[in-house]
């Protein structure tokens, strides 16, 4: 299994000798290893000890890896339970959304942070940020949030109008899409997709879901 993965990764090595004719071409890394580094994937129940499940033995510094129960660095798509990671986050996001909107319903509607940036756009640069945040934080619901519900504030941020928004489905999707996606996805066709945007994270998750059960999905830690 390791040999097959190494062969698949080889074209993206900075140090490969058979570089393309394009002098501007560079690979994506100069060293790598199988390592989820805190982004391990959940294993489908009953397959935790399946020999097809992949777990890197050592960290990049050479110390033994310790895996949370029921997780791995990869394996056949059919043996991974992607919903086990996303579903609890989606449920918590829905709860947070409802709590915030129930709390906010007792106060005058708050404005988003961008409103105050526009309001103070003529202010001196050195003072603009201060005035923006002072005005934003002076709204009654924001003051009450900090004073009465610090644990809710920690979940909705200090700018909840911007962070949570008014669309339950959109908020839940944003939170759930973050669970599995990492910096980049290398597809079976050798195409790199970067997941720095919501659309990128959505593609990341959809792509994994649509892979055939036998396709290998592996977390790779690389340096480029």
**Model confidence at 17: pLDDT above 90:** no
- The per-residue pLDDT for 194 is 87
- The per-residue pLDDT for 19 is 65
The rounded distance, in Å, linking the Cα atoms of 104 and 110 is 8
**Mean pLDDT value across residues 159-170:** 97
Tens digit of pLDDT for each residue in 73-97? 999 999 999 999 999 999 999 999 9
pLDDT range class, residue 180, cuts 50, 70, 90: very high
pLDDT top residue among 8 and 108:
108
The rounded distance, in Å, linking the Cα atoms of 90 and 174 is 9
Tens digit of pLDDT for each residue in 186-203? 999 888 888 888 899 999
Q: How far is CA 60 from CA 1, 33, 100, 180, 219, in A?
A: 19, 8, 41, 21, 13
Q: What is the pTM of this model?
A: 0.83
The rounded distance, in Å, linking the Cα atoms of 10 and 13 is 6
The rounded distance, in Å, linking the Cα atoms of 148 and 151 is 9
Q: For the chain, how far is it from start to end, CA to CA, in angstroms?
A: 24
**Model confidence at 133: pLDDT above 90:** yes
Helix (H) or strand (E) holding 13: none
Is the distance from CB of 12 to CB of 27 less than 8 angstroms? yes
Percent of the chain exceeding pLDDT 70 equals 94
- The per-residue pLDDT for 148 is 97
Tens digit of pLDDT for each residue in 93-129? 999 999 999 999 999 999 999 999 999 998 888 889 9
């Amino acid at each position: 299994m390791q040999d097959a993965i190494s062969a698949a990764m080889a074209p993206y090595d900075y140090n490969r000798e058979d570089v393309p004719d394009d002098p501007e071409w560079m690979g994506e890394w100069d060293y790598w290893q199988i390592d989820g580094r805190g982004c391990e994937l959940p294993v489908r129940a009953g397959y935790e000890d399946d020999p097809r499940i992949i777990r890197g033995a050592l960290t990049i510094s050479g110390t033994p890896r310790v895996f949370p129960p029921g997780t791995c660095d990869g394996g056949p798509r059919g043996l991974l339970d992607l919903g086990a990671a996303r579903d609890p986050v989606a449920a918590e996001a829905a709860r947070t959304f409802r709590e915030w909107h129930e709390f906010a319903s007792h106060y005058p509607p708050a404005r988003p942070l961008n409103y105050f940036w526009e309001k103070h756009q003529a202010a001196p640069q050195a003072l603009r940020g201060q005035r923006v945040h002072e005005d934003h934080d002076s709204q009654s619901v924001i003051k009450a949030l900090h004073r009465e519900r610090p644990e809710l504030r920690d979940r909705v941020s200090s700018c909840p109008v911007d962070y949570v928004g008014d669309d339950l489905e959109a908020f839940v999707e944003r939170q759930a899409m973050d669970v599995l996606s990492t910096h980049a996805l290398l597809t079976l066709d050798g195409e790199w997709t970067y997941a720095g945007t919501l659309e990128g994270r959505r593609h990341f998750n959809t792509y994994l879901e649509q892979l055939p059960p036998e396709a290998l999905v592996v977390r790779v830690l690389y340096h480029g």
